[in-house]
Structure 1
């Protein structure tokens, strides 16, 4: 297992180094830097008392889903105070669609004793605009989850660096 460290070179330019189990250092690969950033953001997401910072959620999702070439539908399970219980990638699709099964979403929410959730998916096309299918799915999931007293707080669409919020758009 390697460990990411920050080191200053003689020219005072910051460079990221990875230390392996033997204690040797080497320059970090871009994928290792992204993984380290994801761990930090995931820790902030889980460690926050409440989702008082939508920016932390957006940053996490941009890194997690923004660069994928296929669609992923995920959920962020929340407790009654909107603290993060867990981020779960539920379904994987193709470049332009993914199948989402409300029954499975409800089962996962009940298994984690979630009181609320944020729905998330990406658009590899680069356009964050929700389709009619996205809007219809959101309503179906909202209704299915309401049957078991789980509130849908938002549905976010990640398209590269852009994150669109259904709640901010008045689509919830």
Structure 2
């Protein structure tokens, strides 16, 4: 019983000390000095500097939002790289990121028509791929050119 009373009084004393000694005296004085410092800094910045800071922040915000939307296409290029046959090369890659899907347009060269079919099959087996369409294929001008092709890959986001 007396031990409980001692613990209760100790807890009450610690609480009162924290409340009145630390919070009221120390924290509130620190808050007042921090507010005074920030007001002094705000007064020291001219209107022209405020405009420059605002413009800089706007540029950073625009870059951030641009990277959020455009940067996602890079993930799909990495998947393409890992799933491309050695007999297939690309001369043009276009990535269009939409709300629900990503369209990847590819122009390239393959060693044969069979390599194009194998490549399309690999892409169809990739996770999240909705469809793979061959837009066109033709034999290049010289035998070393192989088969030139265009295809579109539609990936779910």
**Normalising by the residue count of structure 2, what TM-score does the alignment of the two structures yield?**
0.25
Q: Which has the larger radius of gyration?
A: 2
Larger helix share, 1 or 2 = 2
**Normalising by the residue count of structure 1, what TM-score does the alignment of the two structures yield?**
0.23
